[in-house]
Each structure stands twice: as structure tokens, then as C-alpha cells.
């Protein structure tokens, strides 16, 4: 019987270190993109991709599949389409260090909005109208967290406010979703009668979240 995946029981964390570039190099056109550069990454490292040449890779999170002294292969980052990824572009990789995550406990609400297809319409005198795509609406992540005045989570959120951040949602099956974007944290807790005091975070995402399966 198929096991239905649920977000219930997932653990939310915020990356607390600066997003510092680890590797920068040329990107190959391949089903698993190769970044050619003097390399300091290892197999299994998790990285955020930053690239002015390839906007579709901006904010993407990937796992290092192969690492040598002069190149890094990114698992599942498909750049083989030459129309979307013209040859000769560069990308920077930002390593996410395993020890630099702050758990955000007691999250009453968590949700994504945006990502809907934007369309336009062509109208002709003797033909039916035709609808065409104009890309997608911007995506955002919004969540609330139980307020605690001296809590480590509150301190981490205040420190990261109005900065580029990474959020990590770890599911019970071992898979993980990553959300890269600018965080806006409202440190004023709600005071509605009969309701737990909570604060709200809004993250303006750089693109769609990245979902990575459980590491082998």
C-alpha cells in the first residue's frame, strides 16, 4: 500500500552562518552539472547555488555527487538544455555547514504561496483567443513560531532579519526541503485572547524550494 507523505512531524531550522562563497567556476552542460574550479568541497556536502549567468539556478540547493581537486559534480542539477543554459556560464557554490543550523521549535503554521502561472491572451479577428505563459508569480514562505523572550530561536530570527537566509524542513522519511530567500521577521507577538502568542516570518523566495531525498 502506498504510504502518503505528510509534513506533520517535520523539523524546521534556520541557517545562522553567513552565506559565504566556497567555490566559483564554469558550469558544464550535463544532466548532473559539473563546476570546474579549485575545489574545497566533499562528496555529500550541501550547497546553495548563486549564478548571474543562469537565473534558473539562483537559490537552488544541491548535494555534491562527485568531488575532485578541480571539479564538483552536482547531483540532479540538469543543465543539458542549451537554450536555458548557454555554454560558458559561471556559478558560485555556498557550502551549508552542518553545525550552523538553529532549530525553530513550536511552529503553529507553515505554508507556501505564489508560484502560479501568469498568462496573457492573444486575440484575433477570425480566430479563437490564445493564452500564453508569462512565467510564474513570485513565491513566498510564511510561518509562525511560538514566542519566547529569551529563546535561541527568537535571537537567531532577529539576527537574520532582512538578510538572505536558508530554511531547512526535515521530514520524518529523511528527505529535506530547502527555502532560500530574504527573511522578514516580525518580533511583535500576537495578543489575541485565548490564542498562544506567536510571531510571524515572511521569506521572499529566490525560486521554488529544493527537495532532496535522504542521503545514501
CATH of domain 19-95: 2.40.30.180
Q: What is the residue extent of each domain of the chain?
A: 19-95, 101-212
C-alpha cell at 72: 564538483
What stretches in the chain show pLDDT beneath 70?
1-6
Counting Cβ atoms within 10 Å, is residue 111 exposed (0-12), middle (13-18) or buried (19+)? Answer: exposed
Could you tell me which CATH class the domain 101-212 is placed in?
A: mainly beta
- What's the full length of the chain, in residues? 216
pLDDT tens, residue by residue, 46-89: 999 999 999 999 999 999 999 999 999 999 999 999 999 999 99
- The answer to whether domain 19-95 and domain 101-212 are alike in fold is yes
C-alpha cell at 199: 510571531
Confidence at residue 4, expressed as pLDDT on a 0 to 100 scale:
61
Interatomic CA distance for residues 156 and 162, integer angstroms: 12
Contact of 199 with 186, CB cutoff 8 Å: yes
Contact of 23 with 93, CB cutoff 8 Å: yes
Amino acid at each position: 500500500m502506498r504510504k502518503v507523505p505528510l509534513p506533520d512531524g517535520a523539523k524546521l531550522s534556520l541557517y545562522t552562518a553567513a552565506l559565504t562563497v566556497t567555490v566559483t567556476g564554469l558550469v558544464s552542460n550535463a544532466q548532473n552539472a559539473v563546476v570546474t574550479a579549485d575545489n574545497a568541497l566533499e562528496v555529500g556536502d550541501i550547497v546553495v547555488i548563486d549564478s548571474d549567468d543562469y537565473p534558473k539556478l539562483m537559490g537552488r540547493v544541491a548535494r555534491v555527487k562527485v568531488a575532485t581537486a578541480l571539479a564538483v559534480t552536482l547531483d540532479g542539477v540538469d543543465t543539458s538544455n542549451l537554450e536555458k543554459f548557454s555554454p560558458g556560464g559561471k556559478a558560485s557554490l555556498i557550502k551549508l555547514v552542518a553545525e550552523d543550523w538553529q532549530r525553530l521549535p513550536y511552529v503553529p503554521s507553515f505554508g507556501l504561496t505564489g508560484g502560479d502561472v501568469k498568462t496573457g491572451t492573444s486575440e484575433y479577428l477570425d480566430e479563437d483567443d490564445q493564452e500564453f505563459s508569462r512565467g510564474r508569480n513570485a513565491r513566498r514562505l510564511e510561518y509562525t513560531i511560538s514566542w519566547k523572550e529569551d529563546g535561541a530561536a527568537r535571537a537567531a530570527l532577529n539576527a537574520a532579519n532582512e538578510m538572505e537566509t536558508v530554511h531547512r524542513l526535515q521530514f520524518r522519511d529523511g528527505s529535506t526541503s530547502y527555502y532560500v530567500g530574504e527573511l522578514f521577521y516580525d518580533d511583535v507577538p500576537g495578543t489575541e485572547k485565548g490564542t498562544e502568542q506567536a510571531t510571524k516570518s515572511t521569506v521572499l523566495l529566490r525560486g521554488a524550494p529544493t527537495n532532496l531525498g535522504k542521503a545514501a
